[in-house]
A and B are shown apart, each in its own frame.
Chain A
Amino acid sequence: MPQLLRADIRPDRWFIHPEVSWLAPGEVQADALRDLRTMDNTLSVFEVDDLANVERIAIAVASGRMKPDVMGYAVFDANAVTAGGFKLRRVHGKTADSVVNALHYDIQFLTGGRLNQLAGVMAQGKVDQILPKRVKELLRDGLAAGHLDREEVNQKLLSQL
């Protein structure tokens, strides 16, 4: 498992030095932690088995939203996560794309300190985004190709596609 993806982030919260001049090299803005909302001390991530699947994973997550908005994501080194002692557990995902769901993991037993450490690992990866117009196109493509289960897509979102 070479890489992991965390979707639904805001890339500007992940700007580091030198973009944010007051940050020391290696540090992360505290606002980045807003993108790491844990549930029962676990954080949802996806395995990137093929870099060609990055968009598909991001769009699967976008299919659960209310609106076709910008989708930010971070792709980061899975080995750095496991080497850091983080516990990964494969848990079937809950998106509208069954293939993407099979790539879902929970990072478990997170503490405040560990979450901060994880943010540091993520910030060293690639933080990118898909613009809203493209998100809309990819959602339509995903539905047409049958990747996205129409019944599982957020119905409010569906009405805007």
Chain B
Amino acid sequence: MSQIDLGAMTELRVNLNDLICPISPGVLRKWSRFDRETIETTLLGECVLHLPVVRWSVSRVNVETRNAETRSTIVTPNVTELESTRTVTLVQRLSLVFELALEEEFEDGTDSNFSRALDAFSQIYGNAAISALENILDSGQTNSEVAGEALRWLGKVQDDQSKIYRLTILRKSLKSSSVRQRYAAALGLAAMDDPSAIPFLSDAVENEEHDKIRKHFQLVLEQLQQTGQCHNY
């Protein structure tokens, strides 16, 4: 397995089916210790972060790097090599997106690269993407900040087909051992605004040990109850 020294590089761009995808210096530094195969796999994950939709029938990928003096194409995988990247499981691919999200600053009221990547995965893979996300959340190995962002996203995404599945994950996450994930799960339910979650939020209010979280659950519960009343009229 050939090694690629990316440590001295200042710029790296991926041309994926003629869509140019710039790679951040932070990611570049992180990759400097990785082998070629990992880099190629990660590149595809990184592209998902930047492009609204990525189709995996990739015909041409060029990776360009540039330092102060030179510019060269260092990786030009052929189609056979790209086939091997498809064998990487969805969970592994999504895990890379979670890993890259560690470098992001999340803010409310604006889309993050992470949420755009989740949108892309959801559009391409549907419920399989939601299942992969559930696996990652259930692993308990996820950073609280990123897991919270994923739970917020589950509530916001506009996709009727995956709604029941997403609702199930959010309901389950109300019982997470992480206070921040419990908080984010309730926010996801608030965004979804589906009164069918009322019994689960009522239980969560009943069983929550911390006042602040309980108050947050109560606030979301009241919103859903109001929504339920509106639906009844």
Residues of A within 8 A of B (CB): 8, 10-12, 15, 18-20, 31, 34, 62, 65-72, 127, 129, 131-134
Contacts and interface: CB of A to CB of B under 8 A. Distances in A.
Interface of B: 105-111, 145, 148, 179-180, 183-184, 187, 190-191, 193, 210, 212-213, 216, 219-220, 223
Pick the 7 closest A-B CB pairs, nearest first: A65-B109, A69-B109, A69-B108, A12-B183, A12-B180, A131-B190, A19-B210
A31 B178 CA distance: 15
5 contacts: A20-B179, A65-B110, A69-B108, A127-B212, A131-B187
Nearest to B184: A12
A72 B179 contact: no
Contact of A34 (B105, B111, B180, B212): B105
B180 A70 contact: no
Contacts of A15: 179-180, 183, 212
Contact of A133 (B111, B145, B190, B212): B190
B111 A66 contact: yes
B223 to A, nearest CB: 6
A65 B108 contact: yes
Given A34-B105, A65-B108, A65-B109, A132 B190 contact: yes
Contacts of A11: 183, 212, 216
Contacts of A68: 109
Contacts of A69: 108-110
User: Considering residues B180, B190, B223, which has the most beta carbons from chain A within 10 angstroms of its beta carbon?
Assistant: B180
B185 to A, nearest CB: 11
Contacts of A20: 179
B108 A134 contact: no
A10 B108 contact: yes
Nearest to A71: B108
Contacts of B212: 11, 15, 19, 127
A131 B109 contact: no
A8 B110 CA distance: 11
A41 B9 CA distance: 32
Contact of B223 (A12, A71, A131): A131
B108 A12 contact: no
A67 B220 contact: no
A69 B152 CA distance: 10
Contact of B145 (A8, A18, A31, A71): A31
